Homo-oligomer: A and B are copies of this chain.
Amino acid sequence: MNQVTLSDVQRAAARLNGVAHVTPVFTSSQLNIAAGAAVFLKCENLQRVGAFKFRGAYNAVAALPPDRTATPVVTLSSGNHAQGVALACRLLGRQAHVVMPGPVNALKRAATITYGATVHEAADRQQGDRMLGALLEETSGVHIHAFNDPLVIAGQGTAMLEFLSVVPDLDVVLAPIGGGGLLSGACVAAHGVKPGLRIYACEPIGALDAIQSVRENRIVPMTNPCTIADGLRSSVGDMTLPILHAHLSGFFTVGEHEIVEAMRFAFERLKIVIEPSSAVALAPVLRREPALHDQRVGVLITGGNVDLSAFFPTFLRKREPAP
C-alpha cells in the first residue's frame, strides 16, 4: 500500500517550485462580516489551468523515469485533471492521451487540446474505462489517475503547505470532496505541520457518497449524482479513503441553491470567478455554521473553470439601448 507522507508533499513542492503558481490568499472584511469568522481563501482558481489539479498532475508526470520520456501519459478525465495532465506533459515534453467521458464540456476539451493533448471522447464512463485500457495497451503508456495516485495526492497537498506558510494560525480548513485527492493531500500536509488543525469535507446533497464512505470506512459508489458541482461527481478511491477516515474532523453538506449563492457572493462581492465545486466549500461559511463561529477559517478555493458562454451574449443584448 502506498502511504503518502509529509515528505512526499515536500518533495512535490520542490518539483513544483517555479512551475506552479504560488496562489494568493484572499481576505475580505465583507466576507468576515457575512461569516462571523476570519476567513482566508486559498485561490487555486488562479492556479495554472484554473484549478489545483495542475499540482498533482505535474508532480506525477515529473516523477516518471527520465530515461523513458517517449512513454506517453494516459488518463481519463472530463474536467480539470485533463487540463492539468495536458499542460504538465507539454511542459515536460511528453505525449498525453486524455479519454473524456461525456457529456464533455466544450471549453475544457478545447483547453486540453490547446495544451497539446490528444483527446479521445467516450460516450460515458464505462466506455471511457474500456478506451483507457485499450489506449494503455496500444501506446504502452503510463496511467495517471485523477486522484487515486500517491504522487497526485502529494502534489495536491502542496496547496495546503503553502496556505499554512502564509496563514499558520488557522483553526479550521474547509475543502470540497469528490474523489478526495485534494482533501487527502491537504490532510497529510496540514497534520504533518499542524496536528491540531480541524479539517472538514464539504459535499453537495446531490452527490453524497464521500461522506457516507468516510463514515462507514468503505467505498460507497456514487450513483446518479445530481449537482451542478461537476468536479465532485467521483467516488473516493482506496488510497484517499484511509487518509480521509484518519484525518477528517467532520462534514458539511450543501444544497444546490447554496452553491449558486456562494458563487454569486464570490463574483459580486469578492470579484473572483469560482466554479461550483469551490462554492461547495464556501457555502458553509456563508451560512454561518456554528462550528466556524469566531474561528480562523481557511477555505480551499479549488478552481475557476465555469462555462460562462450563456452569460455574455445576454449581457450585451440586455444592455443595448432600445431602438
Q: A256-B316, A316-B257 are in contact. Are A271 and B308 (CB under 8 A)?
A: no
Interface status of A310 (Cβ within 8 A of chain B) = yes
Query: B318–A263 contact, CB under 8 A?
Result: no
Q: In the complex, which residues of chain B have a beta carbon less than 8 angstroms from the beta carbon of A24?
A: 24
CA–CA, A318 to B228, complex, Å?
9
Among A46, A107, A267, A314, the one with the most B-chain Cβ atoms within 10 Å of its Cβ is A267
Q: In the complex, which residues of chain B have a beta carbon less than 8 angstroms from the beta carbon of A107?
A: 268
Interface status of A66 (Cβ within 8 A of chain B) = no
Interface status of A321 (Cβ within 8 A of chain B) = yes
Query: A315–B271 contact, CB under 8 A?
Result: no
Interface status of A319 (Cβ within 8 A of chain B) = yes
Query: B268–A316 contact, CB under 8 A?
Result: no
Query: B271–A46 contact, CB under 8 A?
Result: yes
Tally of contact residues, A, Cβ under 8 A:
33
Query: B256–A226 contact, CB under 8 A?
Result: no
Q: In the complex, which residues of chain B have a beta carbon less than 8 angstroms from the beta carbon of A237?
A: none
Interface status of A273 (Cβ within 8 A of chain B) = yes
Query: B228–A264 contact, CB under 8 A?
Result: no
CA–CA, A264 to B304, complex, Å?
13
Interface residue SS majority, chain A: helix
Q: In the complex, which residues of chain B have a beta carbon less than 8 angstroms from the beta carbon of A267?
A: 273, 308
CA–CA, A316 to B229, complex, Å?
11
- Of the candidates B46, B269, B310, the one whose C-beta lies within 8 Å of that of A315 is B310
Considering only CB atoms, which chain B residue lies closest to A114 in the complex? Answer: B30
Interface status of A62 (Cβ within 8 A of chain B) = no
Interface status of A213 (Cβ within 8 A of chain B) = no
- Of the candidates B45, B271, B308, the one whose C-beta lies within 8 Å of that of A50 is B271
Q: A271-B304, A273-B273 are in contact. Are A315 and B260 (CB under 8 A)?
A: yes
CA–CA, A129 to B277, complex, Å?
47
CB-contacts of A277-323 with B (<8 A):
304, 306, 308, 310-312, 314-316, 318-321
Q: In the complex, which residues of chain B have a beta carbon less than 8 angstroms from the beta carbon of A320?
A: 228, 256
Q: In whole Å, how far is A169's beta carbon from the nearest beta carbon of chain B?
A: 22
Query: B264–A316 contact, CB under 8 A?
Result: no
Question: Knowing that A256-B316, A310-B315, A314-B314 are A-B contacts, what are 13 other residue pairs whose CB atoms are under 8 Å apart, sorted by A's residue number?
Answer: A46-B271, A50-B271, A107-B268, A228-B315, A228-B319, A228-B320, A256-B320, A260-B312, A263-B315, A268-B306, A272-B273, A273-B273, A308-B311
25 contacts between A and B (CB under 8 A): A24-B24, A45-B271, A46-B271, A50-B269, A50-B271, A228-B315, A228-B319, A256-B316, A260-B315, A263-B315, A264-B308, A267-B273, A268-B273, A268-B306, A268-B308, A271-B273, A271-B304, A272-B273, A276-B319, A308-B311, A310-B311, A310-B314, A311-B314, A311-B315, A314-B314
